[in-house]
């Protein structure tokens, strides 16, 4: 794969950094029950950091805006991002809060349950975001999620819009959004649960997914990408609606699949792919992720994605 002359999108991620404590378990324990697990891993994670790593491994120039605590987990996360070539100039250490931690249980079917202690992520302020305004304004794309305070996320999106930067927003975990925020979002990426919570419409199948997507478009989102796991992805823009099927693989761990989709999609669009083709490429990246354990340990490189797509479809990665 020749990537030497490829476009290198400039991406800034405003978001969370966690240390993931991952337990393998044959099944999820019932309330009050203790069961014996099959293994344990400590893996850098956090939705923001995962999406930044996904974009960097697909060839973007990535900068990160976030908070860590003054502890070993924070230092490990900072070093991990640095090894990916991600600019951490706007990573701030909070002296009073611990770094974010996630306890993740993964069962034999690859499904996970997560308990999150946000720690320093919860104190990322609008002032911290303002300090990174030049970096955000100089990017091609801004990626945000909701593991950081919504006021800070909204300020980052406002700065992006002021400078003509395209906004990729993953409203996870779902929360009530400020009025008008979606009108500043170019690509809204969310799953069935998040779509249900944001619209009040139960997303159970393609028909209800399309109804929810239409409601989100009516609130101003430029494009809605509603991920439905094995059911594929609904791609909806004004006047256009299409389901992109999921890529069939044997799932080992679904952690970071959605984050990989976000990062890979952003880079694919930044390289000039149309939205449907970019979604297909991001679907393959997410599928490859679920065949591996952990968050950032599972996210594929551009070369790995190229090989995977060629092995399944015989296509080149653009």
The residues annotated with a catalytic role in the active site are 259
Annotated binding residue 253: yes
Nearest to 268 by CA among 77, 6, 4, 5: 6
In the block, tokens 């990246």 appear at: 285
The response to whether 191 counts as a known ligand-binding position is yes
Tell me whether residue 289 is annotated as binding: yes
Q: How far apart are CA 27 and CA 264, in angstroms?
A: 30
Give dist(CA 300, CA 70) in Å, integer.
30
* Residue 18 assigned ligand-binding role: yes
> What distances in angstroms separate CA 72 from CA 16, 44, 88, 98, one per listed residue?
16, 12, 17, 10
* Residue 121 assigned to a binding site: no
255 appears as a binding residue in the annotation: yes
Q: Looking at residue 261, what DSSP letter applies?
A: H
The CA distance from 312 to 252, in Å, is 19
Please tell me whether 48 is known to bind a ligand: yes
3-state secondary structure of 271: coil
Q: Is 258 annotated as a binding residue?
A: yes
Is 71 flagged in the annotation as binding? Answer: no
The answer to whether the annotation marks 46 as part of a ligand binding site is yes
Q: Is 70 assigned a ligand-binding role in the annotation?
A: no
CA 312 to chain centre: 24
How many other C-beta atoms can be found within 10 angstroms of the C-beta atom of residue 55?
A: 31
Written as six digits, the tokens of 68 are 């860590």
3-class DSSP assignment, residue 202: coil
Cα 211 to Cα 202, 217, 229, distances in angstroms: 9, 10, 18
- To the question of whether residue 20 is assigned a binding role by annotation, the answer is yes
* Residue 227 is assigned to a ligand binding site: yes
For the beta sheet containing 233-237, the strands, ordered from the edge strand earlier in sequence to the opposite edge, are: 87-94, 61-69, 10-14, 141-144, 166-169, 187-191, 223-227, 233-237, 240-244
Check: CB of residue 84 under 8 Å from CB of residue 53.
yes
Per the annotation, does 229 bind a ligand? Answer: yes
For 172, other C-beta atoms within 10 Å of its C-beta total 19
| 19 assigned to a ligand binding site | yes
The answer to whether 164 is annotated as binding is no
Residues at the annotated binding site?
A: 18-20, 46-50, 147, 191, 227-232, 253, 255, 258-259, 289, 292, 294, 298
Residues at the annotated binding site for substrate?
A: 18-20, 46-50, 147, 259
Residues at the annotated binding site for ATP?
A: 191, 227-232, 258-259
Residues at the annotated binding site for K(+)?
A: 253, 255, 289, 292, 294, 298
């Amino acid at each position: 794969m020749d990537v030497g002359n490829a476009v290198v999108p400039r991406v800034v991620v405003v978001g969370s950094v966690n240390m993931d404590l991952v337990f393998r378990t044959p099944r999820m324990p019932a309330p009050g029950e203790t069961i014996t697990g099959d293994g344990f891993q400590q893996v850098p994670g956090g939705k923001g950091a995962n999406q930044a790593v996904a974009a960097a491994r697909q060839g973007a120039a990535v900068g990160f805006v976030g908070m860590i605590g003054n502890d070993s987990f924070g230092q490990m996360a900072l070093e991990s991002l640095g090894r990916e070539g991600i600019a951490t100039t706007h990573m701030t250490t909070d002296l009073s809060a611990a770094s974010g931690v996630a306890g993740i249980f993964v069962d034999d079917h690859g499904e996970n349950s997560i308990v999150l202690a946000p720690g320093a992520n919860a104190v990322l302020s609008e002032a911290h975001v303002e300090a990174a305004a030049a970096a955000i304004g100089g990017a091609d794309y801004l990626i945000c999620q909701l593991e950081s305070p919504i006021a800070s996320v909204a300020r980052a999106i406002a700065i992006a819009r002021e400078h003509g930067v395209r906004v990729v927003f993953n409203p996870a975990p779902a929360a009530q959004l400020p009025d008008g925020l979606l009108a500043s979002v170019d690509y809204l990426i969310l799953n069935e649960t998040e779509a249900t919570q944001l619209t009040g419409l139960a997303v159970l199948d393609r028909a209800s997914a399309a109804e929810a997507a239409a409601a989100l478009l009516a609130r101003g989102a430029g494009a809605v990408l509603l991920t439905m796991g094995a059911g594929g992805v609904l791609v909806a823009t004004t006047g256009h609606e299409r389901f992109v099927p999921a890529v069939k693989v044997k799932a080992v761990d679904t952690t970071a699949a959605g984050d990989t989709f976000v990062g890979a999609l952003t880079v694919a669009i930044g390289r000039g792919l149309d939205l449907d083709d970019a979604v297909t490429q991001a679907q393959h990246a997410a599928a490859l992720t679920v065949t591996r354990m952990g968050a950032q340990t599972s996210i594929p490189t551009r070369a790995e994605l190229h090989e995977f797509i060629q092995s399944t479809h015989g296509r080149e990665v653009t």
